[in-house]
Amino acid sequence: MKTTKQIWLYDTTLRDGAQREGMSLSLEDKLKIAHKLDDLGIPFIEGGWPGANPKDVQFFWKLKETPLKQAQIVAFCSTRRPKRQASEDQLIKAILAAGTTWVTIFGKSWDLHVTEGIKTSLEENLAMIRDTIEYLISQGRKVIYDAEHWFDGYLNNPEYALATLKTAKEAGASWLVLCDTNGGTLSPQVREIVHQVVEKLGLNGLESPRLGIHTHNDSGLAVANTLAGVLEGVEMVQGTINGYGERCGNANLCTLIPNLQLKMGYQCVTESQLTQLTPSSRLISEIVNLAPDDHAPFVGRSAFAHKGGIHVSAVQKNPLTYEHIEPLQIGNQRRIVISDQAGLSNVLAKAESFGLALSKEDPACSLILEGLKELESQGYQFEVAEASFELLMRSALGQREEMFELKGFQVHCDLLMPYSNALATIKIALKGADILEASEGNGPVSALDKALRKALSNFYPAVTSFGLTDYKVRILDSGSGTGAKTRVLVESSNGEERWTTIGVSANILEASYKAIVEAIEYGLLLNARKKMTIESPVKLVV
């Protein structure tokens, strides 16, 4: 199925996506996201409902100071209210004041919502649709009409639902968008209903109005339903980045775009813009302060991760064996995951990614694999702590020098203080000298981390730029109560890069210490690599 037909993307992350529970966007957040969507090549970006809150009013005016390069910014609003003139409705005045060329108006398609929701007659609802669209067009606006609850309305009263669309068409709407607002319609129903709409309204895709679709994911079918609509003639797809939205979310544009363009042959964005899909997805997740979904199709960190030894061996021979597309096409990358399910192929692939020379015949290869499986049986999890695995590999290859020798450490916590203050003392032997240092911290791990870096700073000044950015603890054998073995993951940063290390012990402080030591050691390794690259930019030898 190949076609060069254009599909128009309409992003509603800033309005519908922001209705997700637990998600709140500042004015600055909205501006950043709008510009990122513009760079991604999205033709229509819905900015919000300017009559609903002051922040959206500010957004439309602020955007005029730094205009988008190619996208049309769209203001969103309902039809006029019952028994009023569109020209006198304050909601309509607010949408005109936003100053956008394009506006999206939603109206009621389901007779239940007309009589029970807004408490008016079916005839008045049609008048609301007609008057609003005609008035906006008379004011120089182009109108996208969102038929709210379209599919439910059609299934319950097809004649009236079609009458609402015909009214919007006759009033001059440029686009008619069929909304599965409750997200409960099945894909075969979507195809059949869209087919009937195209037929009964005489839509040909060559002149206004053209057809769009807006789906929600309450049945897990938002993407599938959108694609079903496209197969029956839909030309505009509405959705959000990462599928954000109320309840279970909206159709995920990060899934829709590659499916439409790479699988179905439609034109959505340029090839270079498509390579920005994964970085854009992750950047927007950072802006909205929600953790990225590692297992999201196409853009997830695990979307092209290979863990089983057989899989890795096959992918290295031919990626098509376990990858449905080339990950670089959408800006993602292949990852070889290390775990107790790994084989020699995993180890060799990771060695190559670390810049380490290793062959299958090298005895160290088997030693690394055996050590990996033994440590994972003890509770280590190297797939989430690749920095620790690189250090393990370097040990087996004889490329890891001992930085210092631990003589001992103590941590004292004063729980009677207003906050959990801790004092750590540590003694190490380094280059022939014994060093004793102490440091306070907000908790025992923080104090221990600071004391160790303080002890090392005179010999390794770079450690002062390292910081602990995340700390996670997991109980591995909960049946053992307070004596359970714990797994500690420490994420560290030097301000430019982040890395994760791991420690496992029945003593949580010992597990933390192991992870902290490796975090510092790996940070120094990164620092040495960077220095070597600057001094010898052509070739880096580790």
Predicted structure pTM score: 0.72
Which of 193-202, 247-256, 292-301 is least confident?
Answer: 292-301
**When comparing pLDDT for 385 and 222, which is higher?**
222
Q: Evaluate whether the domain defined by 404-459 bears CATH number 3.30.160.740.
A: yes
Contact by Cβ (8 Å): 76, 104: yes
Q: On the CB side of 243, how many CA atoms lie within 13 Å of its CA? A: 24
Q: Considering the chain, what percentage of its residues have pLDDT values greater than 90?
A: 57
Q: What DSSP character marks residue 80?
A: P
Q: How confident is the model at residue 542 (pLDDT cuts 50, 70, 90)?
A: very low
Token pair for 209: 């109005």
**When comparing pLDDT for 367 and 284, which is higher?**
284
Q: What is the pLDDT of residue 261?
A: 97
Q: What is the pLDDT of residue 444?
A: 86
| Overall average pLDDT of the 111-119 stretch | 92
Q: What angle do CA 194, 195, 201 make, to 5 degrees?
A: 85
Name residues whose C-beta falls within 8 Å of residue 262's C-beta, 6 or more positions apart in sequence. 274, 325, 329, 330
Q: Work out the end-to-end distance of the chain between its first and last CA atoms, rounded to an integer number of angstroms.
A: 48
Q: What is the pLDDT of residue 105?
A: 97
Contact by Cβ (8 Å): 37, 71: yes
Contact by Cβ (8 Å): 221, 197: no
Distances (CA, A) of 18 to 13, 14, 280, 413: 6, 6, 17, 42
Domain ranges of the chain: 27-238, 355-400+466-502+511-542, 404-459
Q: What is the pLDDT of residue 537?
A: 44
Q: How confident is the model at residue 438 (pLDDT cuts 50, 70, 90)?
A: very high
| Overall average pLDDT of the 509-514 stretch | 90
Q: What angle do CA 257, 154, 121 make, to 5 degrees?
A: 125
Token pair for 89: 């409705």
Q: What is the pLDDT of residues 328-337, one digit of tens each?
A: 999 988 777 6
Whole-number mean pLDDT of the chain? 89
173 pLDDT exceeds 70? yes
Assign 437 to helix, strand or coil. strand
Which of 184-188, 202-206, 498-502 is least confident?
Answer: 202-206
Q: What is the pLDDT of residues 403-420, one digit of tens each?
A: 888 898 898 887 665 556
| Angle between helical axes of 187-201 and 222-231 (0-180°, round to 10) | 30
Among 176, 188, 175, 247, smallest CA distance to 218 is for 247
374 pLDDT exceeds 90? no
Q: How is domain 27-238 classified at the CATH fold level?
A: TIM Barrel (3.20.20)
Distances (CA, A) of 87 to 77, 139, 171: 14, 10, 15
Q: What is the pLDDT of residue 379?
A: 84
